[in-house]
Amino acid sequence: MDEDNLQETIDFVVSDDNSKKTNFNDELYEGSRYEGIFLEGNQYLLSSSKGKVMIIDLLSEIHGVNIKDTRVQFEEENFIKLIMNKRETLNWIKNYKLDKQM
Least confident of 11-15, 26-30, 55-59, 84-88: 84-88
State the helix-helix crossing angle for 76-84 and 3-14, rounded to 10 degrees: 170
Find residue 66's DSSP bridge partners.
none
More confident residue, 20 or 100: 20
Q: pLDDT tens across 89-101, in order? A: 888 888 887 777 7
How would residue 64 be classed by pLDDT, with cut points 50, 70 and 90? Answer: very high
Predicted confidence at residue 3, as pLDDT, reads 77
Q: Comparing 78 with 90, which gets the higher pLDDT?
A: 78
Q: Identify whether the C-beta of residue 46 lies closer than 8 Å to the C-beta of residue 9.
A: yes
What pLDDT does residue 1 have? 67
What are the start-end ranges of the H helices in 1-102?
3-14, 17-23, 58-62, 76-84, 86-101
